[in-house]
């Protein structure tokens, strides 16, 4: 399940087993609170440890390095203004916003049916997802496999290149593009396009322009941009994916 970096850091902070990790987590949480960009040299000073220790910390908790942690924090403090979301997400408009956002998906039924037909005819299905939607992408692949489709997803990004190298015109790639940290998804997408392999894209409105060669794209977004919560996005994406699965069986 998607877990924000703030949640992870709070968990680390509350675990006294490794005091160095606690100090690193405190520094990063302070950056989130003050909406400042973390710097590894500053983190090293306040945590009384070397930069290599901080890199080890990052990898232990599932990140490629300190740079990825910094990007995650940037996403949560700038792109997703959770404080503003709390002010606007009142009970009066919440259900109405969800319904209107779901309607935005239903209005793309022609493209959804196109996705379904392409998936039905594919020999192999390869899914490449941004970090934020890995859980939903994994569940989608699991359900595709359950119903007999040859669906695959890699948790380790570097392995995706091997898929692209061996894929042919009978295969398809499905890309999930949300949030700010998705350049690696775009890079793989461009490689697939160059090989003239079918590519299906599920993304937010703000990321659509990055997939400029795609004629097969479904937009999942909020009806009201002021109400930005990751839980809402997951609801919308899972609605779309379940709709695709239902059309396949």
The residues with which 173 forms a beta bridge, in sequence order, are 126, 199
Q: Among the ranges 13-17, 82-86, 134-138, which has the highest mean pLDDT value?
A: 134-138
Reply yes or no on whether the pLDDT at 77 is more than 80.
Answer: no
Reply yes or no on whether the pLDDT at 175 is more than 90.
Answer: yes
With pLDDT > 90 as the criterion, what percentage of the chain qualifies?
Answer: 43
Q: Which of 162, 163, 15 is nearest to 24 (CA)?
A: 15
Range scoring the smallest mean pLDDT among 76-80, 121-125, 167-171: 76-80
Q: Which of 74, 84, 85 is nearest to 180 (CA)?
A: 74
Enumerate the domain spans of the chain: 5-79, 97-248
Give residue 157's pLDDT: 74
Mean pLDDT, range 110-115, rounded to an integer:
94
CATH number of the structural domain 97-248? 3.40.50.10490
- Give the β-pairing of 217-219 and 172-177: unpaired
CB 2 within 8 A of CB 134: yes
Q: Which of 46, 57, 50 is nearest to 21 (CA)?
A: 57
| Average pLDDT value for the chain | 85
Q: Whole-structure pTM over 0.75, yes or no?
A: no
- Tokens 């690696």 correspond to what residue? 184
Give residue 1's pLDDT: 43
Task: Give the pLDDT confidence of 49-70 residue by residue, as tens digits.
Answer: 999 999 999 998 888 889 989 8
Grouping H, G, I as helix, E, B as strand and the rest as coil, residue 213 is coil
pLDDT band at 125 (very low <50, low <70, confident <90, very high): very high
The topology under which CATH files domain 5-79 is Arc Repressor Mutant, subunit A (1.10.10)
- Tokens 């009142």 correspond to what residue? 90
For residues 88 and 85, give the distance between their C-alpha atoms in angstroms, rounded to a whole number: 5
The count of other CB atoms within 10 Å of the CB of residue 209 is 8
For residues 187 and 226, give the distance between their C-alpha atoms in angstroms, rounded to a whole number: 30
Q: Which of 150, 152, 192 is nearest to 168 (CA)?
A: 192
Task: Give the pLDDT confidence of 210-219 residue by residue, as tens digits.
Answer: 887 778 999 9
Task: Give the pLDDT confidence of 29-40 residue by residue, as tens digits.
Answer: 998 888 888 999
Q: Is the dihedral of CA 159, 165, 171, 177 positive or negative?
A: positive
Mean pLDDT, range 66-86, rounded to an integer:
70
pLDDT band at 2 (very low <50, low <70, confident <90, very high): very low
Q: What is the 3-state secondary structure (H, E, C) of 137-148?
A: HHHHHHHHHHCC
Mean pLDDT, range 227-232, rounded to an integer:
68
Greater pLDDT, 108 or 222: 108
Backbone φ and ψ for 122, nearest 5 degrees, come out as -80, 140
Could you report how far apart the first and last alpha carbons of the chain are, in Å? 25
CB 222 within 8 A of CB 232: yes
Grouping H, G, I as helix, E, B as strand and the rest as coil, residue 121 is helix
């Amino acid at each position: 399940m998607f877990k924000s970096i703030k949640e992870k850091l709070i968990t680390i902070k509350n675990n006294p087993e490794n005091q160095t990790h606690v100090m690193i987590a405190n520094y990063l949480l302070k950056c989130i609170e003050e909406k400042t960009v973390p710097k590894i040299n500053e983190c090293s000073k306040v945590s009384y440890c070397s930069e290599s220790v901080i890199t080890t910390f990052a990898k232990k908790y599932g990140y490629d390095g300190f740079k990825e942690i910094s990007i995650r924090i940037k996403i949560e403090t700038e792109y997703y203004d959770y404080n503003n979301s709390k002010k606007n997400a009142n009970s009066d408009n919440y259900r109405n916003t969800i319904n209107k956002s779901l309607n935005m998906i239903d209005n793309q039924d022609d493209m959804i049916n196109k996705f379904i037909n392409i998936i039905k005819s594919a020999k192999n299905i390869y899914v490449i997802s941004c970090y934020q939607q890995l859980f939903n992408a994994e569940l989608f692949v699991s359900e595709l496999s359950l119903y007999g489709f040859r669906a695959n997803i890699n948790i380790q990004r570097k392995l995706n290149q091997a898929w692209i190298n061996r894929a042919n015109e009978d295969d398809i790639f499905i890309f999930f593009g949300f949030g700010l940290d998705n350049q690696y998804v775009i890079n793989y997408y461009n490689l697939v396009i160059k090989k003239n392999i079918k590519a299906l894209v599920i993304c937010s409105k703000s990321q659509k322009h990055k997939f400029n060669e795609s004629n097969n794209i479904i937009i999942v977004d909020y009806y009201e941009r002021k109400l930005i919560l990751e839980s809402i996005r997951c609801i919308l994406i899972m609605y779309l994916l379940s709709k695709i699965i239902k059309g396949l069986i």
